[in-house]
Amino acid sequence: MANYVMVVDLHDCTGCGACMIACKNENNVQEGTFWCSNEKEITGEFPNIEYSYKPTFCNHCDNAPCVEACPV
């Protein structure tokens, strides 16, 4: 049996949260809880600020809804 994981190009991730919402809706996760998350890092000083996002997934689904929802 093969095990799959989702790989996201972090340079293309905009932190939209579509993966978090899809996971929450599909798996009926209770209010206030997320199985996947999106960590945001802010670097630099005004006016040269850069944002980077790191989505973290639980990787427990066979047909994960977060994979279909992610635009990148």
Whole-number percent of the chain with pLDDT over 90: 11
Beta bridge partners of 2: none
pLDDT tens per residue across span 3-35: 666 677 888 888 888 888 888 888 887 887 778
Q: Is this prediction's pTM over 0.75?
A: no
Look at 42 and 1; give whichever has higher pLDDT. Answer: 42
Confidence grade of residue 43 (pLDDT, cut at 50, 70, 90)? very high
Is position 4 within any domain? no
Residue 13 lies in a domain: no
Nearest Cα neighbor of 57 from 31, 1, 27 is: 27
Q: Would you say residue 6 lies in a domain?
A: no
Q: What angle do CA 61, 56, 27 make, to 5 degrees?
A: 35
Q: Residue 55: which domain range?
A: 18-69
In a domain, 43, yes or no: yes
Q: Whole-angstrom Cα distance, residue 34 to residue 70?
A: 16
pLDDT of residue 28: 81
Total domains present in the chain:
1
User: What is the CATH number for 22?
Assistant: 3.30.70.20
Q: How many other CB atoms sit within 10 Å of the CB of residue 26? A: 15
